[in-house]
């Protein structure tokens, strides 16, 4: 995908409105293009400012009822004086438009997803995408001393990498992925027939300091912060087994 296409789709990509194929192409382009990443970062900052600073005023139920009622066709009546006939249709149209705007605004703000919930969805989407797109790993190795250096130059900070084969969680490899529109490391582990993604990025992003233990779309998700790094585990593995892996990863090593 070329620069112009990526920049034209930046807003739709951030809003998760592009199809999976286009999303993979955009992310692959962003991984190697600092100029386009800057454009995306600018769009993300603008969107965040709107969410943080936009004011929302809820219309009283009585007002909403009056506006909706005003938008309904009026029953037949005696002709109004000529001096009123000119503005009455405009007043009804304006009332109807205002009712639609208010109702739409209430629905829009009520449907917004919080930052933590969106991050959980990003984690699950990243896990599913890695399984479906045959892009599970960029560097295939169980050697932590091979996988960790691969991230040098691709991320501002290389993630801690541990091989836990002896504990039943062998390291499969790693790849570059995205969370919250930012590049992060994805380390892949295996337990029996289950694949596990561990996303590692800098702490401090949206909802990054919040502990998470949840299930989404049949996948279990666990999140924690250690030092200046944020960790997200996701898999169809049972939650107690995923918790065991988290405990192993949290151990000083």
pLDDT in tens, 110-165: 334 455 688 899 999 999 988 886 678 999 999 999 999 999 989 988 899 999 99
Question: Model-level pTM?
Answer: 0.58
Rg of the Cα trace of the chain?
Answer: 25
pLDDT digits (tens, 9 = 90+) for 15-68: 777 777 777 788 888 888 888 888 887 777 776 666 656 565 666 777 767 776
Q: What is the pLDDT of residues 83-113, one digit of tens each?
A: 544 445 555 555 554 444 444 443 333 334 4
State the CB neighbour count (10 A cutoff) for residue 205. Answer: 16
Three-state secondary structure call for residue 177: strand
Cβ-Cβ contacts under 8 Å for 96 (sequence gap 6 or more)? 67, 70, 71
**Is the separation of the CB atoms in 199 and 159 below 8 Å?**
no
User: ∠ at Cα 196 (44, 23), nearest 5°?
Assistant: 35
Q: How many CB atoms lie within 10 A of CB 101?
A: 12
What are 113's two structure tokens?
A: 């997803």
* pLDDT at position 43: 77
Other CB atoms within a 10 A radius of the CB of residue 115 amount to: 15
Q: Residue ranges of the domains in the chain?
A: 61-110, 114-250
Contacts 24+ apart (CB under 8 A), 15-20: 15/47, 16/125, 20/129, 20/132, 20/133
Question: Using one digit for the tens of pLDDT, what is the confidence trace for 214-249?
Answer: 999 999 999 999 988 999 999 999 999 999 999 999
Neighbours of 8 (CB within 10 A): 12
Q: What is the CATH number of domain 114-250?
A: 3.30.200.100
pLDDT for the residue numbered 180: 81
């Amino acid at each position: 995908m070329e620069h112009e296409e990526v920049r034209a789709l930046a807003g739709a990509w951030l809003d998760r409105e592009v199809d999976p194929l286009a999303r993979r192409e955009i992310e692959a382009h962003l991984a190697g293009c600092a100029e386009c990443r800057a454009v995306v970062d600018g769009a993300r900052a603008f969107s965040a400012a709107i969410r943080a600073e936009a004011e929302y005023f809820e219309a009283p139920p009585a007002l909403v009822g009056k506006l909706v009622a005003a938008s309904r066709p009026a029953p037949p009546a005696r002709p109004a004086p000529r001096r009123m006939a000119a503005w009455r249709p405009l007043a009804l149209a304006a009332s109807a438009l205002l009712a639609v705007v208010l109702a739409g605004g209430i629905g829009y703000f009520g449907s917004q997803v919080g930052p933590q919930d969106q991050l959980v969805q990003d984690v699950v989407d990243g896990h599913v995408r890695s399984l479906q797109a045959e892009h599970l790993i960029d560097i295939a190795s169980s050697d932590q001393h091979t996988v960790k250096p691969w991230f040098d130059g691709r991320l501002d900070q290389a993630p801690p990498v541990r091989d836990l084969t002896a504990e039943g969680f062998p390291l499969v490899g790693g790849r570059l992925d995205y969370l919250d529109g930012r590049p992060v490391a994805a380390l892949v582990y295996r337990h029996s027939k289950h694949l596990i993604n561990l996303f590692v990025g800098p702490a401090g992003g949206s909802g990054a300091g919040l502990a998470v233990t949840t299930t989404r779309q049949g996948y279990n998700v666990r999140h924690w912060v250690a030092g200046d790094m944020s960790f997200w585990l996701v898999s169809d593995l049972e939650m107690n087994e995923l918790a065991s892996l988290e405990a192993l990863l949290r151990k000083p090593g």
